[in-house]
């Protein structure tokens, strides 16, 4: 979905417990049950993802620092699902720093003054290379004035390394002023607005990026489709997600967002087809299987549902949704055993 640090929107996580209707923002509120020591009230955790395609990144060095800049927890590595978890800490502001060779470091500020921060998403951008592949993209890049490029790079650095999203927006604005056709800058500006929870401004910037790129630049399309899905605007998200699929057929995120939009409009068979395409393109992403779990609960397909559950638990055995998925598995096994016993009776 895109290009940037926290840059490609926060991802709606999926509810899988049968008492939750449809897809809900469940993981945002679920925290593992841990002993609560006096003063240590709130948990901090999340995942690290590739800013370009939203795939999880394992083995990332993640560090937690307090307000004074001191290390609050030893460096740890993300697991195979890109997840990390520090434990419970005193209320206050913290900084999570993610670093991996070949990627630009990224920082995210978290505030545990009132609640847990267990759905922190950190998106890493690969270190810049000489020039993007493809003649059309190269021609576009070559047309960008150096002044605009410098402002764009400063904006990306402020967003990724310092979490200075207001400063990043100012830099992207300077880049656009120097080069009004700079659709990448509009896309990054949209990401920065999302960090600031200014979703109307984010939507305007992303739609401008899409317009300037004639819907051929996939990142803002995927980001906008996610943003619209996250706002429950599924009918609006669907055509944008279809444009994202057209722009980048091989990107699992585009098909995944299309599946989300279709499922939420109760177009189950079409949603299943899109979700399976996303799964085939990205077989190791747990989120795809959470969506398939919801779809196959709706279609009442126990064998397919069990396969989805087992694959999710294999990929994310310690994931925030894992306890709920395990409970669902227990219920499903009991149901299947009961059904077989009934069928075996004369």
Residues 206-242: pLDDT tens digits? 999 999 999 999 999 999 999 999 999 999 999 999 9
Give yes or no: residues 40 and 100 share one domain.
yes
Is 23 within the bounds of a domain? no
Which residue stretches of the chain are H helix?
Answer: 135-143, 146-161, 165-178, 183-195, 199-212, 218-230, 234-247, 252-264, 268-281, 286-298, 302-315, 322-344
Give yes or no: residues 157 and 74 share one domain.
no
pTM of the predicted model over 0.75: no
**What CATH number is associated with residue 51?**
2.60.40.10
Q: How many domains does the chain have?
A: 3
Q: What is the pLDDT of residue 118?
A: 77
**What CATH number is associated with residue 252?**
1.25.40.10
Last residue of a domain, one of 167, 190, 214: 214
Other C-beta atoms closer than 10 Å to the C-beta of 157 total: 16
| Pairwise CA distance, residues 99 & 297, whole Å | 38
| Pairwise CA distance, residues 92 & 121, whole Å | 19
Give yes or no: residues 56 and 105 share one domain.
yes
Q: Say how far residue 149 (Cα) sits from the centre of its chain.
A: 27
Contact 82, 33 (CB under 8 A): no
Give yes or no: residues 319 and 232 share one domain.
yes
Element (H, E) at 66: strand 61-66
Directed axis angle between helix 252-264 and helix 218-230, to 10°?
A: 30
Last residue of a domain, one of 128, 161, 179: 128
* End-to-end alpha carbon distance in the chain: 54
Q: Classify the C-alpha dihedral 178-180-183-186 as positive or negative.
A: positive
Closest CA to 85 of 119, 123, 58: 119
Give yes or no: residues 202 and 184 share one domain.
yes
Is 98 within the bounds of a domain? yes
Give yes or no: residues 235 and 319 share one domain.
yes
| Pairwise CA distance, residues 241 & 257, whole Å | 6
Which residue range(s) make up the domain with 152?
Answer: 135-214
Give yes or no: residues 197 and 286 share one domain.
no
Give yes or no: residues 264 and 287 share one domain.
yes
Q: What is the pLDDT of residue 176?
A: 96
Taking the chain (346 residues) in runs of 10, the rounded mean pLDDT of each run is: 32 25 29 39 85 85 83 83 85 88 85 81 76 50 88 88 87 96 94 91 97 92 93 96 93 93 95 95 88 91 92 84 90 89 74
Is 6 within the bounds of a domain? no
Last residue of a domain, one of 87, 105, 128: 128
Is 2 within the bounds of a domain? no
Is 18 within the bounds of a domain? no
Contact 224, 1 (CB under 8 A): no
Give yes or no: residues 78 and 167 share one domain.
no
Give yes or no: residues 203 and 256 share one domain.
no
**DSSP structure class, residue 145:** -
| Pairwise CA distance, residues 226 & 171, whole Å | 25
| Pairwise CA distance, residues 162 & 272, whole Å | 40
Is 340 within the bounds of a domain? no
Give yes or no: residues 233 and 321 share one domain.
yes
Q: Say how far residue 50 (Cα) sits from the centre of its chain.
A: 9
């Amino acid at each position: 979905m895109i290009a940037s640090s926290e840059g490609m929107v926060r991802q709606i996580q999926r509810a899988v417990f049968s008492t939750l209707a449809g897809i809900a923002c469940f993981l945002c509120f679920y925290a593992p049950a841990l002993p609560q020591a006096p003063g240590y009230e709130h948990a901090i955790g999340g995942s690290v993802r590739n800013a370009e395609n939203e795939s999880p990144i394992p083995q990332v060095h993640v560090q937690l620092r307090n307000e004074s800049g001191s290390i609050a927890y030893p460096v740890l590595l993300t697991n195979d699902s890109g997840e990390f978890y520090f434990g419970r800490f005193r209320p206050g502001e913290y900084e999570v720093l993610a670093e991996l060779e070949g990627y630009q470091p990224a920082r995210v500020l978290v505030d545990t003054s009132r609640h847990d921060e267990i759905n922190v998403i950190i998106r890493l951008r690969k270190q810049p290379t000489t020039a993007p592949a493809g003649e059309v993209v190269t021609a576009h890049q070559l047309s960008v004035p150096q002044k605009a490029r410098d402002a764009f790079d400063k904006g990306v650095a402020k967003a990724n390394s310092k979490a200075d999203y207001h400063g990043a927006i100012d830099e992207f604005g300077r880049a656009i002023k120097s080069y009004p056709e700079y659709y990448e800058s509009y896309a990054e500006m949209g990401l920065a607005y999302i960090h600031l929870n200014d979703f109307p401004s984010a939507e305007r910037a992303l739609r401008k990026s899409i317009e300037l790129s004639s819907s051929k630049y996939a990142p803002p399309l995927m980001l906008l489709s996610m943003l619209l899905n996250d706002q429950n605007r599924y009918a609006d998200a669907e055509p944008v997600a279809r444009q994202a699929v057209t722009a980048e057929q091989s990107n699992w995120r585009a098909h995944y967002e299309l599946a989300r939009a279709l499922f939420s409009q109760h177009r189950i068979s079409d949603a299943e087809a899109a979700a399976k395409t996303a799964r085939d393109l990205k077989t190791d992403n747990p989120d795809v299987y959470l969506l398939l779990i919801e779809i196959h609960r709706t279609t009442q397909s126990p064998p397919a549902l069990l396969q989805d559950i087992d694959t999710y638990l294999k990929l994310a055995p310690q994931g925030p949704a894992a306890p709920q998925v395990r409970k669902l598995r227990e219920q499903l096994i009991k149901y299947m055993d009961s059904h077989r016993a009934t069928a075996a009776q004369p």
